[in-house]
Amino acid sequence: MEFLTDYGLFLAKTVTFVVAVLAIVTVIVSAAHRKQDSDDPDGELHLKRLNEGYKRLKENLQQKLMGESDRKAWLKGRKKAKKAEAKAKKKAAKDGETGDEPESPRVFVIDFNGDIKASDNDSLRKAVTAVLSVAEPERDEVVIRLESGGGLVHAYGLAAAQLDRIRAKKIPLTACVDKVAASGGYMMACVADRIIASPFAVLGSIGVVAQLPNFHRLLKKNDVDFEVLTAGEHKRTLTVFGENTDKGRQKFLEDLEDTHVLFKDYVSERRPSVDIQAVANGDIWFGRRALDVHLIDEVKTSDEYLIEACDRAEVVSVSFRRKRTLPEKLGLAASAAIEHSVWKLLSTLRHRNIQ
C-alpha cells in the first residue's frame, strides 16, 4: 500500500510539472503564431485519390496470398509494367499526343458528419466551393457521404443549401448514408439526385421538435421574481424562468407547425415521388423499408458504390482541415499525456487489487 501511495504522489508531481511546462510554452508561442494563423484562415485543402487506395488494398492482399516465388515474379512483372507505362507516357508527351486524350470523368467525395449544430458546415461550404470551381456538368459527379441525426433548423437549412449549389450547377449529386440521415440529415440527403443507404441505415424523421424546462414554479416557491420585458407581441413566447401562458404556447406551436410545413415542402420539391403526407409524421425507416416508401433509391453501402465508381472514373475525396495552432497541439499533447498517466495509474491499482 505504501508503494502505491509513493507511486501516486510521484505520478501527480510529474503530471503537474509537464502541464506547467506546456502551459508556459503555450503562452510564449501563442503570440508568435497569431499572424501565421490569420494568414491562412481557410485551412488546408486535402485530396485523397481513392482509386489508388483501393488498388493498394487489393495488391497487398494478393501479395499475402502468394507464395514467395510467385510474389517475387509478380513484383518483377509489376515493376516492368510500370516502366513500360512511364515510357509510353513520355513518348506520348514528346509526340504531342497528351492533349488529344479525353479526360476521364471524376467523382468528388465530400464527407459530412453532423452534430446538433451542424458544425461541419464551414468545411462543407469550402469543399463545395472548391469542387464547383473545377467540376464539369456533363462529365463529373459529386458524392456526399452523410451521417447525421439532425439538429438546429437554421444550421441544417444552410447545409442543405450548400448541396443545392451543386444541384443548381447541373452536376449529378449522390448521397450515401451508411448509418443515419434523419431530420436535418434527411433534409440534406433529399437534395441529391440519388440517395443510397445501407440496409439498416436510419432515414426520415421528417418532423420538428422543441423542448425546454421551466423553473417558474420553483422560483415562485422560493419567493424569487423573474421578469421578461419585451417589445413586440411575439418577441418571446415561451421562457425558461418566466410564467408561460396558453397564448404563448399556441404561438410557439404555430411556429413549429410552420417550420414543419416548410420542411415537407422542401422534401416534396426535391423528391416528388415521395408521398409526403405518409412519411412526414416524424417516423423513421430503416434502409430497406425506406426504399419501399421512396425515401431512398437504392440499398447499398458507400464502399460498394465508390468501389464501383473507381472502375469508371477517378474518385477523389475532398476535405478542408483547419490547421491547428501550436498551442492547440500542445494542449492535445498535454491531454494525451495526462490521459495516459491516469490510465497507467488506474491499471496499476487494478492489477494490485487483483493480486
- Note whether 181 and 214 are within 8 A (CB): no
35 pLDDT band, cuts 50/70/90, is: very low
Active site residue 235: yes
Which bin fits 335, alpha (ψ -120 to 50), beta or left (φ > 0)?
alpha
To which residue does cell 470523368 refer? 105
- Note whether 266 and 259 are within 8 A (CB): no
Active site residue 64: no
- Note whether 318 and 123 are within 8 A (CB): no
Say which CATH superfamily domain 106-205+283-321 falls into. 2-enoyl-CoA Hydratase; Chain A, domain 1 (3.90.226.10)
With residue 320 as reference, give the H or E element that holds it. Answer: strand 314-321
Q: What is the pLDDT of residue 45?
A: 87
Report whether pLDDT(7) > 90: no
Q: Of 35, 94, 221, 235, which is the active-site residue?
A: 235
Pairing of strands 314-321, 44-49: antiparallel
In the predicted model, what is the mean pLDDT of the chain? 83
Q: What is the pLDDT of residue 355?
A: 47
pLDDT in tens, 199-239: 999 999 999 988 889 888 898 889 898 888 888 888 888 88
| Residue 194, beta-bridge partner list | 174
Q: What is the pLDDT of residue 342?
A: 59
The residue ranges of every structural domain in the chain are 2-40+325-354, 106-205+283-321
- Note whether 175 and 110 are within 8 A (CB): no
Distances (CA, A) of 240 to 211, 216, 218: 10, 7, 11
What does the block give as the cell for 109? 467525395
pLDDT in tens, 275-284: 999 999 999 9
Sign of CA pseudo-dihedral 341, 323, 41, 161: negative
pLDDT in tens, 104-141: 899 999 999 999 999 999 999 999 999 999 999 989 99
Q: What is the pLDDT of residue 312?
A: 92
Report whether pLDDT(39) > 50: no
pLDDT > 90 in the chain, percent:
50
Report whether pLDDT(37) > 70: no
Q: Of 123, 148, 183, 302, which is the active-site residue?
A: 183
Q: What is the mean pLDDT of the segment spanning 31-49?
A: 63
Q: Which of 33-42, 234-243, 244-253 has the lowest average pLDDT?
A: 33-42
pLDDT > 70 in the chain, percent:
75
Report whether pLDDT(298) > 70: yes
Closest CA to 175 of 198, 199, 131, 143: 143
